[in-house]
């Protein structure tokens, strides 16, 4: 009988996450799974290894919030396996809406009864002096931000045509998944996650036109850095220092992240639960 394998990504600073991981490891081990983690925890039956030595697996299970799920995506994306976020009591946009029993989560993993939805990514590259010096991807957003007290000067073009020069705190290019994160806080629109689109918005720009825009993921966004220093951040996890003359290229990615759900939930219901929107008295169709 071939052993099945799962990778757990755990927010080690949250006691409830560690306790849930302990229970889930026991349940999955009983069902014949080998469980591994690179998180800083010590749990009986859970193999602790470095990120580079994580084994092949059929699923990545995250015990933590949306930030921990972004870390889980770094593991699931190159393996092209589902990423399941377990709700520990706080409604997020990527984990389960309801707080389910760990027994039902384990049952779903063992029986592979979960559903998946593909979330688009962004790809980016940084060019300096005609050479590519950095590249990567983002599930939520690519941000270019100032590093000093003064504004950063950015020249933005879309599809090889100039769009605008902005003196601003920064610029966000967000996926539909990321439209509910930093981009939302900066005044951007919420996009349903089944859309293929990119939200582009300057942050606190000193300009008459600084509205958020929604563009095609096939469109190429190029940002020229006109200030001495700036920084690029992908999902607040991967950073690249930028300098004057650098060109940042952003486009829709060619791969997806597969988010798994034990119970399929409409995004409308997720919004209502997250923001406690007033829907009392709705009678249905």
User: Given CA atoms 36, 38, 41, 42 in this order, what sign does their dihedral have?
Assistant: positive
Residue owning tokens 């998946």:
116
Interior CA angle at 147 toward 146 and 150, to 5°? 65
C-alpha closest to that of 20 among 104, 123, 113: 104
DSSP state of 53: G
Catalytic residue among 40, 52, 66, 159: 66
C-alpha distances (whole Å) from 33 to each of 48, 229, 247 are 15, 48, 46
d(CA 208, CA 134): 33
- What are 229's two structure tokens? 């220093």
* Residue 109 near residue 7, CB atoms below 8 Å: no
User: Given CA atoms 29, 33, 36, 37 in this order, what sign does their dihedral have?
Assistant: negative
Bridge-based pairing of strands 213-215 and 198-203 is antiparallel
66 is an active site residue? yes
d(CA 105, CA 223): 43
The residues annotated as belonging to the active site are 66
């Amino acid at each position: 009988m071939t052993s099945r394998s799962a990778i757990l990504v755990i927010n080690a600073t949250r006691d409830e996450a560690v306790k849930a991981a302990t229970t889930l490891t026991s349940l999955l081990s009983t069902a014949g799974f080998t469980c591994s983690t690179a998180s800083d925890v010590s749990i009986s039956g859970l193999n602790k290894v470095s990120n580079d030595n994580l084994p092949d697996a059929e699923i990545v299970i995250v015990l933590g919030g949306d930030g921990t799920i972004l870390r889980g995506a770094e593991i699931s994306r190159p393996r092209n396996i589902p990423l399941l976020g377990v709700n520990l009591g706080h409604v997020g946009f990527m984990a389960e809406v309801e707080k389910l029993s760990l027994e039902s989560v384990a049952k779903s993993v063992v029986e592979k009864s979960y559903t998946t939805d593909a979330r688009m990514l962004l790809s980016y590259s940084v060019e300096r002096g005609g050479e590519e010096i950095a590249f990567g991807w983002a599930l939520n957003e690519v941000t270019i931000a100032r590093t000093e007290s003064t504004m950063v000067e950015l020249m933005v073009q879309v599809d090889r045509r100039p769009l605008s020069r902005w003196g601003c705190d920064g610029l966000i290019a967000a996926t539909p998944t990321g439209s509910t994160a930093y981009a939302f806080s900066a005044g951007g629109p919420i996009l349903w996650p089944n859309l293929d689109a990119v939200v582009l918005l300057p942050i606190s720009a000193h300009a008459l036109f600084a509205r958020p825009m929604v563009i095609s993921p096939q469109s190429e966004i190029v940002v020229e850095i006109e200030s001495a220093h700036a920084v690029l951040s992908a999902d607040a996890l991967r950073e690249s220092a930028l300098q004057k003359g650098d060109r940042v290229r952003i486009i829709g990615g060619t791969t997806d992240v597969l988010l798994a759900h034990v119970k399929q939930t409409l995004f409308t219901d997720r919004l209502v639960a997250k923001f406690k929107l007033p829907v009392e008295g709705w009678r249905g169709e």
